[in-house]
């Protein structure tokens, strides 16, 4: 799959599941431990709950995709910004319902193009993304997966540059 940030600074929230056993879903901690890094870049393998290699990032024109910040939700937006909003969590629930999954299947996810730098003192915060118009990330499935995305509708922090915009998703058949 290729995700293209058409206008720049647009977070794409992403989850994947082993299609043969959806309990074996993306595991951010396993992924960071194996990468020895909190950021996702070209070469990073996305590991599952059972340490399965689910997917691999094969190319990325934008650095340091996030996997520690999680997705936005109605509840978090309300306590942080005092507003009830659209959210990635609601989008995930909607998409997962197509695969007989639901809110208990949502785990800490990947946010392509979202920037959450971590300081020496451990400080972390969503900050302005370096992603520019046309930046892309390529992700290859290593087993059969169910992959769901939410094009983040966040307007109240810099995840999407305060102005959510379209992304393009391209899918390609595996080379035999
Ligand atoms: Zn979001």
Owning domain of residue 95: 2-170
CA of 81 to the centre of ligand 1 (A): 14
Question: 17-49, pLDDT tens digit by residue?
Answer: 999 999 999 999 999 999 999 999 999 999 999
Average model confidence (pLDDT) for the chain?
Answer: 96
Distance 175 CA to ligand 1 centre (A): 32
User: What spacing in Å lies between the alpha carbon of 160 and ligand 1's midpoint?
Assistant: 8
The answer to whether residue 164 sits within a structural domain is yes
CA 128–ligand 1 middle distance (angstroms):
14
What residues pack around ion ligand 1 (CB closer than 5 A)? Answer: 72, 88, 152, 154
Q: How far is CA 125 from CA 37, 82, 114, 133, in A?
A: 17, 18, 11, 23
Structural domain total, the chain: 1
Does residue 101 form part of some domain? yes
Tokens 């996997």 label which residue? 67
Span from the CA of 120 to the centroid of ligand 1 (angstroms)? 26
pLDDT digits (tens, 9 = 90+) for 115-155: 999 999 999 999 999 999 999 999 999 999 999 999 999 99
Check whether 176 has a pLDDT greater than 90.
Answer: no
pLDDT mean over 86-113: 97
If you measure from the C-alpha of residue 144 to the centroid of ligand 1, how many angstroms do you get, rounded to a whole number?
26
d(CA 77, ligand 1 centre) in Å: 10
Does any domain span residue 67? yes
Q: DSSP of 100-163, one letter per residue?
A: T--GGG--S-EEET-B--B-TT--B--B----BTTEEEEEEESS-EEEEEEE----SSGGGTTS
Does a structural domain hold residue 119? yes
Measure 92 CA to ligand 1 centroid, in angstroms.
10
What kind and span of H or E run contains 79? helix 74-81
CA–CA separation, 41 and 63 (whole Å): 6
65-81 per-position pLDDT tens digit: 999 999 999 999 999 99
In a domain, 176, yes or no: no
| Mean pLDDT confidence for 90-103 | 97
pLDDT at 174: 75
Separation of CA 8 and ligand 1 centre (Å): 15
From edge to edge, which strands make up the β-sheet containing 135-141? 45-47, 53-60, 135-141, 2-5, 167-170
Within a domain: 175: no
d(CA 37, CA 107): 19
Q: Is residue 94 part of a domain?
A: yes
Q: In the prediction, which pLDDT does 97 show?
A: 98
Torsion of CA 13, 142, 30, 126, to 10 degrees: -20
């Amino acid at each position: 799959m290729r995700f293209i940030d058409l206008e720049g600074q647009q977070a794409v929230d992403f989850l994947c599941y082993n299609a043969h056993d959806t309990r074996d879903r993306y595991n951010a901690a396993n992924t960071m431990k194996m990468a020895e890094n909190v950021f996702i870049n070209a070469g990073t393998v996305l590991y599952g709950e059972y340490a399965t290699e689910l997917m691999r990032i094969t190319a990325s024109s934008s650095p340091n995709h996030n996997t520690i910040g999680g997705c936005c939700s109605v509840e978090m937006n309300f306590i942080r910004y005092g507003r009830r909003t659209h959210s990635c969590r609601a989008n995930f629930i909607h998409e997962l319902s197509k695969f007989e999954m639901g809110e208990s299947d949502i785990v800490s996810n990947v946010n392509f193009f979202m920037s959450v730098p971590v300081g020496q003192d451990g400080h972390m915060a969503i900050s302005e993304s370096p992603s520019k118009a046309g930046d892309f990330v390529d992700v290859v499935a290593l087993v059969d997966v169910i992959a769901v995305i939410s094009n983040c509708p966040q307007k109240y922090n810099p995840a999407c540059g305060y102005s959510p915009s379209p992304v393009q998703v391209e899918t390609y058949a595996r080379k035999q």
